[in-house]
Structure 1
Amino acid sequence: MKFISPKVDYAFKKIFGSNQSQQILISFLNAIIYDGENIIQSLTIQNPYNPGQVESLKDSYLDIRATLSDNSIVIIEMQVSRMQAFDKRVDYNLCKTYANQLEKGELYFLLNPVIAVTITDFKMLDELPEAINKFVFKEEKKNVAYIGKNLKLIFVELPKFQKKLEDLQSLIDKWIFFLKETAKLDIIPESLGEVPEIERALNIANRANYSREELEEFDKRAMMLQDERGKINYAKEEGRAEGRAEGKAEGRAEGRAEGKAEVVMLLVNQRFGEVDQDISNQISNLKSENLESLVKALFDFNSLADLLSWLENL
């Protein structure tokens, strides 16, 4: 038995955001938001997964949106790679979801709470050792919670979770293990199968239940994510190698910049096709720190226009 990784957008959306995922998503959110308590009884998944629409999904992240029975809104995002200003994007999505509930002239009491659940495949909050961290508004000195409890941020950092299969106890443990390790499993472990919703999620993740076309799409997306990560690491190593070959401090800096610029151009050309010489020259002339910023920002660009805007505002 082989399983696809829930960290890839295609699988994540199908497991947690399809029409048959309601109970799966309820169990997952009760674990992550309410520490395993059975608080959420029902929800409605907005814009559920549709195989015919997978081309519109973004390669590095996606959102699932659900409305709970008390009309609270939950948005879920999986982010597999670091990117520039990611924290600001999380804040923006939370605030945008809250504000967009009202049309012009509507009254504020119609606003419902919004919870943003962000899952990262990298460490984001280095000063906090826990895998799950939750944030609300509080008074800065006295740590008293703000009277309005309408906005909440929850972060799940997968690399911080180090428990083995035999160590899993809580519903929280089992869901995080599912997200992080499913692709490495070859059977449904007994401890995970004890939770009906996780067993159902694993069955959805079973490669045997996908058509050849779906598997090809999944493998293509998984490979894209691996390639992006590999190219970032290659850029770093290439820059170091070029720098070492120069010998002197100035030579090392120039060598790293040239190596990074070449790899960044490979990334740009692969993402947007062959770009013209003017754009190539602009990128080649960027400083080393700007090249690193561009590599991170590329994950969030949807078109060549986004790249041009980034270069103009540099």
Structure 2
Amino acid sequence: MGRFINPFTDFGFKFLFGREVEKELLIDFLNDLLVGEHVITDIQFLNNEQQPEVKTERGLIYDIYCRTNTGEHIIVEMQNREQPYFKDRALFYLSRAITQQAKKGIWNFQLDAVYGVFFMNFVMDKDIPSKIRTDVVLSDRDTGKLFNSKFRQIFIELPNFNKEEDECENDFERWIYILKHMDTLDRMPFKARKAVFERLEKLASKANMTQEERMQYEEEWKVYNDYFNTLDFAEQKGMQMGMQKGLQKGIQEGIRETARKLKELGVDNDIIIKSTGISKEEIEKL
């Protein structure tokens, strides 16, 4: 393991971007992501666990959920492996953040804008292999004119970002370069250009973590490593079964095998649900 933490483990991602004491990092990243559109000066972290309105509905847990000083609700998610219906899931996440704004009694339906920012360690659209960022808005199909500004999705496909350090042209690209390579870097680049990267260097350095934080990170890193090895095994098994019994059935069996092995590793049910799409009831039966 390198000098800095891996920002794409659950612990690493929330340690860097999901804490009140270090919220300036998230504010800075969001401003670079939305440069020319918004200037965010403050955020308030909201409860990332969204309970269903009725018991029969499904709850969900966001990685990071916050509200800006100008009223936008922003969901920030990290997805490490490709999932069936990931676009639908992203839509569901934003939809829940919208419906949760409903007020009892007389209400004029005015909504706060909801943004979803999705980091992906896989390629979402393989027919567009060089696209790093996909912005989704509600617009008129014929004219392209924005129809409603209250819904926005930004998908960041990390495997498609292949620039070297000296090729990064703006601060958004510098953020992506650092995040993609952080756990293999010997030094933090771009500190002379932007003070926030010096702060990021101190925060992400394992040497600056408390013993408790270091133990928690290393334990999760082990689970993270086992998780990917398990997924690779499940994918291979799914492909074999797909050739023998039909591709779709093989894929589903591979997903179930992944969930079973994650359960054996002691991974929390919420993480298994998020990683595989399998329901809590199915997991309990495994």
Q: Is TM > 0.5 for Structure 1 vs Structure 2?
A: yes
Structure 2: segments with no counterpart, 5+ residues: 49-60, 266-271
Q: What is the rounded CA distance, in whole Å, between the counterparts of 1:97 and 1:262 in structure 2? A: 32
Q: Cα gap change, 1:45/1:201 in structure 2, threshold over 3 Å: closer, same or farther? A: farther
Aligned with 2:261: secondary structure? Answer: helix
Q: Is the 8 Å Cα contact of residues 43 and 69 (structure 1) preserved in structure 2?
A: yes
- Residue 93 of structure 2 is matched in structure 1 by 93
- Residue number in structure 1 paired with 2:126: 126
What secondary structure does 2:139 align onto?
A: coil
Change (3 A) 1:39 1:297: closer
Task: Quote how far apart the aligned CAs of 1:30 are.
Answer: 1.0
Q: SS state of the match for residue 136, structure 1?
A: strand
8 Å CA contact retained: 1:83, 1:296? no
Q: Secondary structure at the match of 1:137?
A: strand
SS at match of 1:149: strand
Query: Equivalents in 2 of 1:108, 1:258: separation in Å?
Result: 47
In the aligned structure 1, how far is the partner of 2:89 from the partner of 2:102?
A: 21
- CA drift of 1:212 comes to 2.9
| Matched residue SS, 2:233 | helix
Distance 2:246 2:145 in 1: 52
**Which residue number corresponds to residue 276 of structure 2?**
299
Q: Which amino acid is the alignment partner of residue 166 of structure 2?
A: E
Matching residue within 260, 263, 278 for 1:272: 263
Q: What is the Cα deviation at residue 46 of structure 1?
A: 2.7
CA distance in 2, matches of 1:238, 1:221: 25
CA–CA separation in structure 2 for the residues paired with 1:257 and 1:89: 19
Partner of 2:244: 253
Matched, 1:70 2:70: yes
Is this contact kept in 2: 1:84–1:296, CA < 8 A?
A: no
| CA distance in structure 2 between the partners assigned to 1:219 and 1:204 by the alignment | 16
Unaligned 5+ segments in structure 1 are 49-60, 244-249, 275-294
Residues 163-202 of structure 1 deviation map (CA, whole Å, 9 limit, x = unaligned)? 111222311111111221111111222x245311222122
Q: Percent identity?
A: 24
**Cα distance change of structure 1 residues 268 and 45 upon mapping to structure 2, 3 Å threshold:** closer
After superposing on structure 2, the runs of 4+ consecutive aligned residues of structure 1 that deviate more than 3 Å are: 235-240, 254-274, 295-298, 300-303, 306-309
Number of matched pairs: 266
Normalising to structure 1: TM-score of the pair? 0.72
Q: Provide the secondary structure at the position in 2 that maps to 1:108.
A: coil
CA deviation digits over 1:269-288, x for unaligned, max 9? 433359xxxxxxxxxxxxxx
Q: 1:90 deviation in Å?
A: 0.6
Question: Retained in 1: the 8 A contact 2:74–2:116?
Answer: yes
The root-mean-square deviation of aligned C-alpha atoms, in Å, is 3.5
Asked if the contact 1:24/1:197 (under 8 Å) is kept, the reply is yes
Q: 2:219: which partner in 1?
A: 220
